[in-house]
Chain A
Amino acid sequence: MTLILIAMILALLIPIYEACKDEDIWQKMLALASIATKTAMMSLFISVLRDDWMIGVVAVIILSVGNAGLMLLAHVIRRMHEA
């Protein structure tokens, strides 16, 4: 199980590198969406691993709310590029 989690952490490093390197803001937004979803999925996996329902509920809320925040930010950036 630890090996699966370490593989997930390594997969998380890919969008972090992408966000660090790429200059285009939409590529950064894609990396943010990827990281937000991946971290929530890791929290869910850990909650199952530890049989801890409290972390699981928090992970589900983060998974849904993270996407709402992403949409708000994308809207503001799109309006800025149009102006």
Chain B
Amino acid sequence: MTDALTSAAPVDIYTYFIVALLPLSACMLIFQVNPYHALVLRGILGAIAALVYAVLGAADVALTEALMGTMLAITLYAVAVRSSLVLRLGVINQLADRPGDQPLEPLLAELRTIFGRRHHLRLELVPYPDRAALHQGLMAKEVHVTCVVPSLELAQDSSASPASLPVSAQITYQTTTRLKYLYEIMQAELSTAKTQLSYLDIAKEVQS
């Protein structure tokens, strides 16, 4: 036993350099904030770890790291990140597929900037036929945020009371969310001149 330990081959000088790459790439991975960039860095860490294990003589560990640790883990995490980091925005059907003029486009672009660039969330549009179905979807927790354009609805719906027209004409978008932290983010970062934000507490709504 002692002979086997003492007669081990002397460690080459390049081994120290290769092993030093491992904490370097691990630090890069730890300090990355964007989840997608972190996935790519996890691939880099896996490649370097496989090299270190192979150099140190553990060929089986290197193979497992490359196949399971890097390829499978990255694929599963990519699916998990893609399906969980999403903001579902409920809109009324006619607004979403109106050809040519897109009344929602400025708000969508701003939401994509706020949530896509800074908070790494993907924006997904969920169309609903009318306002009642939109509210139902928000109450059933199918969507996180709903957005309607009151002035457009009033122009289409002649039965609306004419008294409310001047007030709602100033507000271009009416945005409702059921999540407190989304409301706080939007209140802090959305330019509120054209958007009326509101927070809907579902627990209270159900009780009343």
Contacts and interface: CB of A to CB of B under 8 A. Distances in A.
Interface string A68-83: 1110110011011001
Contact of B51 (A39, A57, A77): A39
Interface in B144-183: none
Given A2-B13, A6-B14, A62-B50, A16 B43 contact: no
A75 to B, nearest CB: 9
Interface string B15-26: 001100100110
Interface stretch (B34-42, B91-99, B132-140): B34-42
Contacts of B13: 2, 6
Contacts of B57: 55
Interface string A24-37: 01001101100110
B205 interface: no
A39 B75 CA distance: 21
Contact of B47 (A36, A55, A80): A36
Given A35-B44, A39-B51, A46-B55, A58 B62 contact: yes
Residues of A contacting B: mostly: helix
Interface stretch (B64-72, B185-193, B196-204): B64-72
Given A35-B48, A39-B48, A80-B36, A65 B59 contact: no
Contacts of B74: 69, 72-73
B108 interface: no
B40 A73 contact: yes
A26 to B, nearest CB: 10
Nearest to A72: B75
Residues of B contacting A: mostly: helix
B82 A76 contact: yes
Given A6-B13, A32-B40, A83-B122, 6 more contacts: A6-B17, A19-B28, A31-B40, A42-B18, A55-B57, A58-B54
A14 interface: no
Nearest to A36: B47
B122 A80 contact: yes
A48 interface: no
Interface of A: 2, 5-6, 9, 12-13, 16, 19-20, 25, 28-29, 31-32, 35-36, 39-40, 42-43, 46-47, 54-55, 57-59, 61-62, 65-66, 68-70, 72-73, 76-77, 79-80, 83
B12 interface: yes
9 contacts: A55-B57, A57-B59, A58-B59, A58-B60, A66-B47, A66-B70, A72-B71, A73-B40, A80-B82
A57 to B, nearest CB: 8
A25 B14 contact: no
